């Protein structure tokens, strides 16, 4: 299957990150696997979310504080996922997250999940902004737009 | 392993429920299994929660409405689970839920999960009441106490 | 956001299904929600998987039996998800699943998740076939190809 | 509510572990929370499992290797959970795991989940041993019994 982000290498932990990306490491839990013996396809999305929030934190935006201070949330509104090879229980996975594009209304991210130098899963995520109390759409706050610049 | 609720039979779907119990049927999802090929031990708790909420609904209490009308929630504060035999992907499981005890502060429930007449898992759940906004403990509302009488 | 499958209406439960689609109903669990008060974006994938397996069952293919009889599995290799509006705790959701395309190597499905006549989430899923023991790619068995014809 | 393991303090990260215990740190994911704004009661069990497997690893037993080498698994057969206070999104939780008792048939563990010096959840877990292919009960292998000695 074709790569979503063909120029991204799965760079093993310990080597430097590409400029603008953030690397986050997770260990696969037993409960993330299914009876096929591999990570269930929905479980990766929790890793991807964690990787995106660590990307934010690394750039100075603590997402929980944003929610609590502004009453705004950043829901996922679009996803594309390509599964190249399965992750297994107890694997250490590295997630490279980087921003693809940002407008006043939306931000797009790429996440490449790899194990060593093998790319397992690629994810493109689009987030928007809503008022958590009413659910109404809002512009992305400036502080969010800033950290989402590619 | 000894039974938690030894007098409860796993009564196959189609036969009448015992007085005071409510039967709820779920089908095991692929994602509820793990690489051992069986339902992961944490996944049953979601079935048990659904069974308890259907028990409430059957007695006239719609839990979502309660939360929205009163701002109160009924968190689980204590659990005991005994796993006798594993459930498998695609199994149809029947959950028999009944009330064990209720005070102003807490209510206790038993849930027996069975597949046909084989008892797979037994769960004893204690719930309390909190103000969802502050997290402070509250008495169980009368309408909750009423539906929790054994 | 543009619809993935614009000609699909969210047809309320009780009305007939479109030809070739299969409708499956799920109730949102408490544990499927997150602190934003809505269904977490990963949770829908479990519903979609259930909907696809019920589509198979409706056409005479019991997926668990297929796995056990042939040692083959049908992993998800590509996903596209568009989130139009959030589902809430206790909602009854209807999933309309239909086949889009099938080749010897892959099958593509559309799933439209709606609540009454409001379309909440659209999902395009591509599955392939692997030997569950070795993980090697296989052709889709004839019996699978047959049920995946649009 | 009374403590299950009253003599265990929630010892903040950075301070030494008690003799025989192993400390494991997890960060709460967004998807682990529910619409009450706190961690869902089932989500803690995944943390507890990770804590127990890290306890094993720390003592030289890599659980994945054990499964793959011997074909044996260590399913949870009994659980007791006491929820004292809720964990929140993005919290850093410390899990102290220690062995309580081991026989040829079973091993019991305590896990105390705390945030700083506040104890949030206590869990007592009993595991047994099964042949993963047949599901039949087996004795705990010597290498497992050894690492489970309190």
Burial of A123 (0-12, 13-18, 19+ CB in 10 A): buried
Cα–Cα distances in Å, from A19 out to A16, A97, D8?
Answer: 9, 11, 45
**What pLDDT was estimated at residue B10?**
79
Of D124, D40, A31, D129, nearest to B80 by C-alpha is D124
Contact (CB<8Å) C82/A78: yes
pLDDT at residue D9 above 90? Answer: no
Between CA B109 and CA B100 the distance in angstroms is 5
Instruction: With a cut of 70, list the residues of chain A below it in pLDDT.
Output: none
D76-83/D118-127 β-pairing: antiparallel
Helix axes of C44-58 and C63-70: crossing angle, nearest 10 degrees: 80
Contact (CB<8Å) C64/B27: no
pLDDT at residue D78 above 90? Answer: yes
Between CA D138 and CA D74 the distance in angstroms is 10
**Which stretches of C1-149 are assigned E, i.e. beta strand?**
22-27, 72-73, 76-83, 92-102, 107-115, 118-127, 130-131
Give the pLDDT band (50/70/90) at residue D96.
Answer: very high
How far B22 CA lies from chain D's nearest CA (Å)?
A: 22
Contacts of D31 in chain A (CB under 8 A): 45-46, 49
Beta bridge partners of B27: B92
Of B76, B72, B78, B79, nearest to B142 by C-alpha is B72
Which residue in chain A has the smallest CA separation from D65?
A: A90
**What pLDDT was estimated at residue B108?**
97
Which residue in chain A has the smallest CA separation from B89?
A: A35
Which residue in chain B has the smallest CA separation from D120?
A: B77
Of D84, D75, D77, nearest to D122 by C-alpha is D84
Neighbors of chain A by Cβ distance (3+ pairs < 8 Å): B, C, D
pTM over 0.90: yes
CB pairs under 8 A between A and B: 30
How far A26 CA lies from chain D's nearest CA (Å)?
A: 10
User: For the CA atoms of B123, B126, B131, B135, what is the dihedral angle to 10 degrees?
Assistant: -80
* pLDDT, tens digit, 9 for 90 and up, residues A66-110: 999 999 999 999 999 999 999 999 999 999 999 999 999 999 999
* pLDDT, tens digit, 9 for 90 and up, residues D122-139: 999 999 999 999 999 999
How far D26 CA lies from chain A's nearest CA (Å)?
A: 10
Sorted by sequence, the CB contacts under 8 Å of residue C62 that are 6+ apart come out as: B90, C56
**What pLDDT was estimated at residue B125?**
98
Give the pLDDT band (50/70/90) at residue C19.
Answer: confident
Q: Output DSSP code: residue D132.
A: T
**What pLDDT was estimated at residue D63?**
98
Percentages (nearest 5) of helix, strand, coil residues in chain D:
20, 35, 45
Whether B53 contacts B63, CB under 8 Å: yes
* pLDDT, tens digit, 9 for 90 and up, residues C49-87: 999 999 999 999 999 999 999 999 999 999 999 999 999
């Amino acid at each position: 299957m074709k790569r979503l982000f063909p120029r991204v290498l799965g760079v093993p932990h310990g080597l430097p990150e590409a400029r603008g990306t953030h690397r986050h490491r997770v260990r696969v839990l037993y409960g993330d696997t299914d009876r096929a013996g591999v990570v269930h396809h929905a479980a990766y999305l929790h890793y991807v979310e964690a990787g995106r929030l660590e990307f934010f934190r690394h750039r100075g935006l603590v997402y929980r504080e944003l929610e609590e201070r502004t009453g705004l949330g950043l829901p996922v509104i679009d996803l594309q996922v390509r599964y190249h090879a399965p992750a297994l229980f107890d694997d250490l996975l590295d997630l490279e997250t980087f921003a693809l594009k940002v407008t006043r209304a939306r931000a797009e991210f790429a996440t490449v999940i790899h194990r060593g130098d093998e790319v397992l899963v690629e994810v493109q995520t689009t987030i928007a902004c809503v008022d958590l109390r009413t659910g109404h759409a809002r512009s992305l706050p400036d502080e969010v737009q800033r950290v989402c610049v590619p």
